[in-house]
Structure 1
Amino acid sequence: MASQNSVLNPTTRARALDEMAARELDVLVIGAGVVGAGAALDAASRGLTVGLVEARDMASGTSSRSSKLVHGGLRYLKQLNFSLVFEALRERSLILDTLCPHLARPVEFVYPLERRGIDRGYVGLGIGVYDVLGAGKGVPSHHKHLSKRKTLESFPGAKRGAVHGGIKFYEGQLDDARHTMMIARTAAEYGAYVATSARVVDLVRQGERVVGATVRDLEAGREITVRAKTVVNATGVWTDDVQKMVGKSGFRVQASKGVHIVVPRDRIQSRTGLITETEKSLLFIIPCPWSDDFWVIGTTDTPWDLDKAHPAASQADIDYILDHANSLLETPLTRDDVVGVYAGLRPLLAGESDQTSKLSREHACVSPVPGLVIIAGGKYTTYRVMAEDAVNEAVKQLPGKIPASCTDRVPLVGADGYQALWNTRERIAERTGLDVARVEHLLGRFGSDISDLLDLIEQDPSLAEPVEGAPKYLKAEVVYAVSFEGALHLDDILARRLRVSIDTWDRGEAAAPAVAKLVAPLLGWDDAAVDREIEHYHQRVTAERESQLQVDDMTADAARLGAPEVRVGVSA
């Protein structure tokens, strides 16, 4: 059962903003992506007073649009970056075994060998080194060479004549948006004040020193001044925008666009995930981490200097992914097979190369002026290390002796007791009347917090019904998203708490009216507000579909910008 402190809803949000306005914080973190949420948890678990503000929703940027993997990064071995790989593999182990076993799990991959002789030696050596570096770190660490026959048994949908064998190994996977949200909730459990729809519009200065921020409450239309001894800029691809507020920069961030598509599971005949190398990067065909019904396929790696909030996937991006996936498949995928598409931006540290695929995936942490710490770069898997480094830099500017980071030993909300509940899932199903598959689905999304969700159903049995238009989810999950997980808008629910926007053929349009009416009493929406939320969601889906028909980034971006922001005061 969730601690009352970890609950995020409109009431706790308003209280958090009031508290931030009324006192001086030790640390104010800007940005509730995975690194910002991680920094808030790191600071709060050291006993510091912490505020976490986010202009949109938790994980609404890069942190809901990743490949859904926790991995060391095979591609970095090619760059001989052994330290980054080892660090990421260590963090993979922590995520899978200690921090969030309810959200993350091992996933089996096969690397199909397409060139006789050459690939087995070249790829086998790389994966062998990967295994040595990752020995004992969260997944089975012994890769296995497969003959052509064994490869086709595992991957019967392989293109005949193209695949001559394979190498089997393991990675980790999770639903990134739920993981980031759970980190923020855990930060709140340890005392952090968490507020979304709270945009930093300026930094407050005393001389050269940053002493806080002006924060605009986009729901109520008010502005507050949040005083803080240190401010951590963890805004990812928006890093440079915040740096401009002080007129000094520690480094430059280059956005790299990564696009993924979602296709039905029956379109690719394989018992494992698949990975292959392209001319630019690696292409993953990944079993969907939140549903057995889909594959997630990606990614691209191209520079992006257009709208940061809503990067658009073009027709060229989708065709690139389909073409490379089809190089492995006997029955090719077509555009008609694509259920969902999403695009995200990686915040890479800019270097001399113009090719984002060659820019560093390492992170950097600097303090360009007193009172301000900037953290950027890195990769999703190493978020905890980045957060720790940022707070370590902030602590240097705080008085007194501050405890060291302990987040490597702090399980996230829902982790405590998860395994015991998983072991008793059949009894839970018998007691609640839900089928076992549904209980397993809920345990994989909520962990031990499933008890709070089941309490909602006990109070209102109608919440055990599937969501109209999205039957993979229960109505209780929608109510829980607002009552416990901080969702404030229809888009928050359909795109991030649930994944309806990318795992239903209509991108969630059929579900939108039912979901909006269900949460209206919880969010204080009248009929006009319900209509606005539904219309906004419709415009978002329409704009995204239109952008995915465009031939290049410029036209795709223009099409995507046809949908306005749902949060008042957030510019495109």
Structure 2
Amino acid sequence: MSVQISALSPQTRAQALTDLAERQFDVLVIGAGVVGAGAALDAASRGLSVALVEARDLAAGTSSRSSKLVHGGLRYLKQLNFSLVFEALRERSLILKTLCPHLARPVEFIYPLERKGIDRGYVGLGIGVYDVLGAGKGVPSHHKHLSKRKTLETFPDGKKGHIQGAIKFYEGQLDDARHTMMIARTAAAYGASVATSARVVDLVREGQRVVGAVVRDLETGHDITVRARTVVNATGVWTDDIQEMLGGKGSFRVQASKGVHIVVPRDRIKSKTGLITETEKSLLFIIPCPWSEDFWVIGTTDTPWDLDKAHPAASASDIDYILEHANALLEKPLTRADVVGVYAGLRPLLAGESDQTSKLSREHACVSPVPGLVIVAGGKYTTYRVMAKDAVDEAAKQLPGAVEKCCTDKVPLIGADGYQALWNTRARIAERTGLDLARVEHLLGRYGSAISDLLELIDQDKNLGEPLESAPKYLKAEAVYAVSHEGALHLDDILARRTRISIDTWDRGDGAAQEVAELVAPLLSWDAEAIDREVGHYRTRVAAERESQEQLDDLTADAARLGAPDVRVGAG
């Protein structure tokens, strides 16, 4: 089967729901985060019939709220978990070089040294081993020791009397939400039926065997019984919720850990590279923003979370923690007034003996607690493809006949084929389209070779080639394309995940909400009342998030965030 440029549109969603009701699938995947989308692509590319259902939006949870890094994990090296580091570095190489070079790229970092002598030997040894393990795996693998003077040339805003030097090395980065969406689109191109706003409310069983699920269409409230030979639970922090449908806890427990990041303007920190350092709780990253040269992404925290899983709230304490540790390296401290955006996500960790989430397992587990059901949980973003492979391998054991081996290490995502040639000819694209070169580079880094679809929309309606008035980094066509090709059903999907307007504009998308809603209304059959409802919901969400970020602790922050109900009824 050859892959086609596939659109996820309101029409393809409607067809997917029809398929869910009428067909029996080899594999039903629950959850369209990166692992679930990856499992759908893995199964579909083996020739299996696949359905992928998601209660909210593609990458709506953890998979849109990471550090945006593709990395082996220096922390795991410190824990002497060489196998996990090597596996992640191998996957980093595949992501950067084969699967999605249009979305992922190498990024240079320094690790500032704060103690004379001790840090250079200790950190240098660790990064040296990291480089050896990662040799040839997608990024330059020659780390370099920098003197204090060279460090401050690279990082002019470094704290002069504090930083004693640095070690320079490379990692990979990508925009996680767009990456996950592209995986789901690629799965659809290989035949998977993909439906968002489709929440599993029960499992269907025949005796002890799971034979499908009851799926509620949250746009209409209608329930659909989906028949499947195997079901894969890839719901991350919701794993235990699905396990409860079996009447028990299942094979393992998942502990949610909250990670918070802030977004600040690029000109507030003068540095030629990103920065990584270690705090008492986690690693702290100051990362060049992967989707815009105008910002830094700074994080993260690592604290237990047992409150609302759909909308984890960042508190004032979380933001202050990040600012405090970033400021330990900066000559000119950041303040709350510098924060453009904030986001919080939950890592699904396999529970261990320690209550400290930083010590829980980042490895993944894949089990079949009853016939017909496979559960995959844990892991890290970079190794999503391995987790997906293991889940489908386990499901394949329960399917009749022989099942083809995994081939996703050789399956480029939509937009990857032809990307390099288009990048090389980007000046001609700019000349032909009338778009400036920086805009074409921005589009190629978001759509790859699928840029042709976007440019076709602009050819049909020249107005779509204009920037959004309140978010001029994005074209009007990008908002329309998010609905016509990328599966967005609600304003929140467009502003928070297909674009990053919700965290890279000072008003967090408040101003763009009305303009974008009116642009996409014809595609989603929204009348004036529906537009008002979508815009009102989005602005209420922004207000609730701002209020939560003024609260001192998780409990009060969670209560404030819950002041904005989910736009998808019953999706929480």
Q: Same fold (TM over 0.5)?
A: yes
Equivalent residue for 1:94? 94
SS at match of 2:139: coil
| Distance (whole Å) between structure 1 residues aligned to residue 23 and residue 519 of structure 2 | 36
| Distance (whole Å) between structure 1 residues aligned to residue 324 and residue 55 of structure 2 | 37
Residue 528 of structure 1 pairs with residue 529 of structure 2: yes
Equivalent residue for 2:559? 558
Is the Cα–Cα contact under 8 Å of residues 3 and 186 in structure 2 kept in the other structure?
no
Equivalent residue for 2:103? 103
| TM-score normalised by the chain length of structure 1 | 0.99
Runs of 4+ in 1 over 6 A off after TM superposition: none
Q: Structure 1 residue 428: deviation in Å? A: 0.1
Is the Cα–Cα contact under 8 Å of residues 3 and 190 in structure 2 kept in the other structure?
no
| TM-score normalised by the chain length of structure 2 | 0.99
Aligned residue runs from structure 1 range 473-512, under 5 A:
473-512=474-513
Equivalent residue for 1:77? 77
Q: Structure 1 residue 210: deviation in Å? A: 0.2
Q: Structure 1 residue 5: deviation in Å? A: 6.2
Equivalent residue for 2:215? 215
Q: More displaced, 448-457 or 245-254? A: 245-254
Equivalent residue for 1:143? 143
Q: Structure 1 residue 20: deviation in Å? A: 1.6
- The residue identity in structure 2 corresponding to 1:158 is G
Q: Structure 1 residue 76: deviation in Å? A: 0.5
TM-superposition CA deviations, 1:215-267 (whole Å, max 9, x none): 00111221110000000000000000000001240100000000000000000
Is the Cα–Cα contact under 8 Å of residues 70 and 174 in structure 2 kept in the other structure?
yes
| Distance (whole Å) between structure 2 residues aligned to residue 475 and residue 354 of structure 1 | 47
- The residue identity in structure 2 corresponding to 1:169 is F
Residue 161 of structure 1 pairs with residue 173 of structure 2: no
Equivalent residue for 1:44? 44
Equivalent residue for 1:66? 66
Q: Structure 1 residue 568: deviation in Å? A: 2.1
Q: Structure 1 residue 3: deviation in Å? A: 6.5
Is the Cα–Cα contact under 8 Å of residues 5 and 191 in structure 1 kept in the other structure?
no
Aligned residue runs from structure 1 range 314-329, under 5 A:
314-329=315-330
SS at match of 1:205: strand
| Distance (whole Å) between structure 2 residues aligned to residue 569 and residue 363 of structure 1 | 29
TM-superposition CA deviations, 1:293-336 (whole Å, max 9, x none): 00000000000000000000000000000000000000000000
Residue 260 of structure 1 pairs with residue 261 of structure 2: yes
For structure 2, the residue ranges without an aligned partner over 5 or more in a row are none
Residue 244 of structure 1 pairs with residue 262 of structure 2: no
TM-superposition CA deviations, 1:455-513 (whole Å, max 9, x none): 00000000011012100000000110000000000000000000000000000000000
SS at match of 1:312: coil
- The residue identity in structure 2 corresponding to 1:392 is D
Equivalent residue for 1:193? 193
Equivalent residue for 2:171? 171
Equivalent residue for 1:275? 276
Is the Cα–Cα contact under 8 Å of residues 311 and 345 in structure 1 kept in the other structure?
yes
| Distance (whole Å) between structure 1 residues aligned to residue 495 and residue 137 of structure 2 | 34
What's the Cα RMSD here? Answer: 0.8
Q: Structure 1 residue 23: deviation in Å? A: 1.2
- The residue identity in structure 1 corresponding to 2:436 is D
TM-superposition CA deviations, 1:347-379 (whole Å, max 9, x none): 000011000000010000000000000000000
Is the Cα–Cα contact under 8 Å of residues 5 and 188 in structure 1 kept in the other structure?
no
**Equivalent pairs, count:** 570
Is the Cα–Cα contact under 8 Å of residues 25 and 49 in structure 1 kept in the other structure?
yes
- The residue identity in structure 1 corresponding to 2:221 is G
- The residue identity in structure 1 corresponding to 2:23 is R
| Distance (whole Å) between structure 2 residues aligned to residue 568 and residue 383 of structure 1 | 29
Q: More displaced, 247-256 or 232-241? A: 247-256
Q: Structure 1 residue 194: deviation in Å? A: 0.2
Equivalent residue for 2:19? 19
| Distance (whole Å) between structure 2 residues aligned to residue 434 and residue 135 of structure 1 | 39
Equivalent residue for 2:460? 459
SS at match of 1:6: coil
Aligned residue runs from structure 1 range 282-321, under 5 A:
282-321=283-322
| Distance (whole Å) between structure 1 residues aligned to residue 106 and residue 465 of structure 2 | 30
Is the Cα–Cα contact under 8 Å of residues 363 and 377 in structure 1 kept in the other structure?
yes
- Taking a change above 3 Å as real, the CA distance of residues 478 and 31 of structure 1, as seen in their structure-2 partners, is same
For structure 1, the residue ranges without an aligned partner over 5 or more in a row are none
| Identical-residue share of aligned pairs (%) | 83
Aligned residue runs from structure 1 range 129-140, under 5 A:
129-140=129-140
Is the Cα–Cα contact under 8 Å of residues 211 and 231 in structure 2 kept in the other structure?
yes
